[in-house]
């Protein structure tokens, strides 16, 4: 076994309860606590992402690396595979100590790109074998795998939507390999986030063609999933922009329309990221509710943003109210199936202590757990549901039901109004009361 990396952290982060003062203890996340018939871990299926936590060095567009990640930088140049193994060992030490049931990765978070495609595959395979050993030893599972189709310069103009078919073919080969790796590791889902599937300017972009390419690409992925017998869910992660000016998977509604056009609604679901919802001008609550209504909800990326920054900071989730409302929709829809809650907990550039990574994840998991308590209480209490249902009670009447079923034409409804049909009476939406009610659940969650 390699030397421990997180030497200031005990073997296991304990559950200390809401009044715990210890920064390295959970106050709300108690993995085995049963809430509405399932344990917290079963409800949330939380996952640590390797990307920003282990494969990012703290550099930003204005400055160099600040974080203590001994497997990046010079060590990665001198001995890329040794460095990658060191990183994987540190990641699993972290996962075991934190006690989360899942992790997730981009292919390039596990293994560095090689001199050619064959070497990249061989490197990934070697690290996947090593990951499989870590999974057997620890009992940790894989929530999802994904291919990084956005960092390498070949993808600057997109992967599936690139004007050059050779890039399309290269990306297809990379996804093929990563999907098989995800399958080998028992992954519950496979994610496609189209970071560069979009455009910088319409002046050089054939929008229609690029969308068709994206549809063809996703269809190939779905076909391959069935060919290899991957039982997991294929997930698309919407995001409106960044890094590209406009991304085709803009929000849940755009993805839903796209899936319908390419006849993929029954094959693909969405991975909804909290801050991507905000960037698209929506509430997280909206994106979850929309996906639920469309029957394409799959999983959550709980990365949060900053209220005043219009870009993606991928930090740990910190708002109980925001997550409670999303979780409320998920629970009233029956809860998660193959999905989970992943988050990056991308640190601020000044958070240079190794232990900061634990603090961020503990805080994020506590936010998720507390939100789960709030959401479960709202579902069990039932008064929000009742009030929503009551608002539509008029539609239970026989006449209204027949209109809904299509048994009235526009002209017949016109005639009905002329013949003295009743003047509708406005009623209060009672929004203040509802918001006050939600506040009560947030206050009382224990």
CB of 252 to ligand XUL, least distance (A): 15
Q: How many CA atoms lie within 13 A of 154 on its CB side?
A: 16
Residue burial 64-79, b: 16+ Cβ < 10 Å; e: rest: eebbebebbeebbeee
Nearest to 358 by CA among 59, 69, 93, 86: 93
DSSP state of 102: E
Which residue's CB is nearer to Co ion, number 83 or number 300?
A: 300
Residues 43, 52, 107, 109: which is the catalytic one?
109
Q: Determine the angle formed by the axes of helices 383-391 and 431-444, rounding to 10 degrees.
A: 160
Q: Which of 109, 301, 312, 329 binds Co ion (CB under 5 A)?
A: 301
Q: Which of 15, 94, 193, 199 binds ligand XUL (CB under 6 A)?
A: 193
Q: Is 273 in the site for ligand XUL (CB under 6 A)?
A: yes
DSSP state of 417: H
Distance (Å, whole) CA 149 – CA 6? 31
Q: Which of 97, 123, 239, 269 binds ligand XUL (CB under 6 A)?
A: 239
Q: Is 174 in the site for ligand XUL (CB under 6 A)?
A: no
CB of 116 to Co ion, least distance (A): 29
Using DSSP's 3-state secondary structure scheme, residue 103 falls into strand
Which residue's CB is nearer to Co ion, number 267 or number 344?
A: 344
What is the token pair recorded at 23? 């920064």
Q: Cα torsion at 62, 67, 72, 74 (round to 10°)? A: 80
Pick what 168 binds: Co ion, ligand XUL, none; C-beta below 5 to 8 Å, kind-dependent: none
Stretch that binds Co ion, among 103-111, 194-202, 250-258, 297-305 (CB under 5 A): 297-305
Lay out the site mask for ligand XUL across 199-238 (x = CB under 6 A, - = otherwise): --------------------------------------x-
Which residue's CB is nearer to ligand XUL, number 27 or number 239?
A: 239
Residues 43, 52, 106, 177: which is the catalytic one?
106
DSSP state of 15: B
Q: Which of 273, 287, 312, 366 binds Co ion (CB under 5 A)?
A: 273
| Contacts to ligand XUL from residues 133-162, by CB under 6 A | 146
Residues shown for the chain: 446
With CB under 6 A as the rule, give the number of residues binding ligand XUL. Answer: 10
CB atoms within 10 A of CB 439: 11
Q: Which of 249, 251, 267, 312 binds ligand XUL (CB under 6 A)?
A: 312
CB of 77 to Co ion, least distance (A): 28
Give 334: exposed, middle or buried? Use CB within 10 Å, 0-12, 13-18, 19+: exposed
Q: Is 367 in the site for ligand XUL (CB under 6 A)?
A: no
Pick what 358 binds: ligand XUL, Co ion, none; C-beta below 5 to 8 Å, kind-dependent: none
> Is 109 a known active-site residue?
yes
CB of 382 to ligand XUL, least distance (A): 34
> Is 106 a known active-site residue?
yes
Which residue's CB is nearer to ligand XUL, number 51 or number 262?
A: 51
Pick what 312 binds: Co ion, ligand XUL, none; C-beta below 5 to 8 Å, kind-dependent: ligand XUL
Distance (Å, whole) CA 312 – CA 319? 16
List C-alpha distances in Å: 318 to 23, 170, 370, 384: 15, 38, 10, 24
What is the token pair recorded at 287? 């994106």
Which residue's CB is nearer to Co ion, number 146 or number 324?
A: 146
Distance (Å, whole) CA 193 – CA 51? 13
Which residue's CB is nearer to Co ion, number 107 or number 273?
A: 273
Nearest to 273 by CA among 194, 218, 197: 194
Q: Which residues touch 85 (CB under 8 Å, ≥6 apart)? A: 127, 130
Active site residues: 106, 109
- Which residues of the shown chain bind Co ion in the complex (CB under 5 A)? 273, 301
- Which residues of the shown chain bind ligand XUL in the complex (CB under 6 A)? 51, 106, 146, 191, 193, 237, 239, 273, 301, 312
């Amino acid at each position: 076994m390699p030397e421990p990396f997180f030497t200031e952290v005990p073997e296991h982060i304990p559950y200390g309860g809401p009044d715990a003062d210890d920064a390295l203890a959970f106050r709300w996340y108690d993995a085995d606590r049963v809430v509405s018939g399932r344990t917290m871990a079963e409800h949330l299926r939380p996952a640590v992402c390797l990307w920003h936590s282990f494969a990012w060095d703290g550099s930003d567009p204005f400055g160099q690396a600040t974080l203590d990640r001994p497997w990046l930088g010079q060590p990665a140049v001198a001995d890329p595979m040794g460095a990658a193994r060191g990183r994987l060992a540190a990641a699993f030490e972290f996962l075991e100590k934190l006690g989360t049931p899942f992790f997730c990765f981009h292919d390039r978070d596990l293994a560095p790109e090689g001199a050619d495609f064959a070497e990249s595959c061989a490197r990934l395979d070697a690290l996947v074998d090593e990951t499989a050993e870590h999974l057997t030893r620890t009992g940790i599972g894989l929530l999802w795998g994904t291919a990084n189709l956005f960092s390498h310069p070949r993808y600057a103009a997109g992967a599936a939507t690139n004007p050059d078919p050779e890039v399309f073919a290269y990306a297809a080969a990379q996804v093929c390999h990563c999907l098989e790796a995800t399958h080998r590791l028992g992954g519950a889902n496979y994610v496609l986030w189209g970071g560069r599937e979009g455009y910088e300017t319409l002046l050089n972009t054939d929008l229609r063609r690029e969308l068709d390419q994206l549809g063809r690409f996703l269809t190939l992925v779905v076909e391959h999933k069935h060919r290899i017998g991957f039982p997991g869910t294929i997930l698309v992660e919407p995001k409106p922009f960044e890094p590209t000016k406009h991304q085709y998977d803009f929000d849940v509604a755009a993805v839903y329309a796209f899936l319908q056009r390419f006849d993929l609604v029954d094959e693909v679901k969405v991975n909804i990221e909290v801050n991507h919802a905000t960037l698209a001008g929506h509430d997280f609550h909206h994106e979850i509710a929309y996906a639920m209504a469309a029957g394409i909800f799959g999983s959550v990326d709980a990365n949060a943003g900053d209220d005043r920054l219009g870009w993606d900071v991928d930090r740990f989730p910190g708002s109980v109210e925001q997550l409670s409302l999303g979780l409320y929709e998920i629970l009233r829809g029956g809860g998660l199936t193959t999905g989970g809650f992943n988050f990056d907990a991308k640190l601020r550039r000044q958070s240079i202590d190794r232990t900061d990574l634990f603090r961020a994840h503990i805080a994020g998991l506590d936010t998720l757990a507390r939100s789960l308590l709030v959401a479960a209480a709202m579902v069990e209490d039932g008064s929000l549901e009742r009030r929503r249902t009551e608002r539509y009670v008029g539609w239970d009447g026989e006449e209204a039901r027949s209109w809904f079923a299509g048994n009235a034409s526009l002209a017949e409804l016109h005639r009905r109004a002329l013949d003295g049909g009743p003047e509708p009476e406005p009623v209060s939406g009672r929004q203040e009361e509802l918001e006050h009610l939600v506040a009560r659940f947030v206050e009382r969650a224990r």
